[in-house]
Amino acid sequence: MGNKIFVGNLPFSATDDKLKELFSQFGDITEAVIIKNKFSGRSKGFGFITFSSEADAQKAVTEMNEKEIEGRKITVKEATPFNPDAPRPRRSFGDRGSGGGFGGQRRGGFGGEQRGGFGGGRGRFNKREGSDSEESNDQQEGY
C-alpha cells in the first residue's frame, strides 16, 4: 500500500483544513486536498490525503473507513492512479421518456420509428395510429 489515501462521500462543507485536522491523529500529513469543481469552486465530495509513512496511511484506512462524519458515512481506501483506459461505469438517469437526439423509441430522434424527426419532436404533425390521413390528424389536434 502507498502512503496516499482516497476519502470519499465527504460532506460538501468539508475544507482542506478540516480534512487535515480530521486525519492528523493518525500521523504526519504532507498533503490534504479536497477536489473541487473548477468553475464553481464547490467540493465534489471527495479528496486525497498523503501521509509521510505507509503505516500511518494504513492505520487511517482501518480506523476511518465507514465512519460517520456530519451525517455521512465516508469511504477511506488506498488511492490508485487514474487509468483513462479503464471502463467507467455508465450512469443511469432513470427513464426520462423518449424523444430527442439521434434515435429514440416511439418518438423523436433521427430515424425514431414513425414519429418525430431530426432532433426530436412529439409526433404532433405526423399520423397517429388508426388515422387515415394527415388532414384528420390535424383535426384531432384542434387545427
| pTM, full prediction | 0.61
d(CA 59, CA 75): 14
All residue ranges of the chain with pLDDT < 70 are 94-143
Residues 97-136: tens digit of each pLDDT: 555 555 545 555 555 555 555 565 555 555 555 555 555 5
Nearest one of 55, 63, 51 to 24, comparing CA atoms? 51
Side chain identity at residue 136, one-letter code: S
SS3 18: helix
Residue 91 and residue 17: Cα distance in Å, rounded?
A: 32
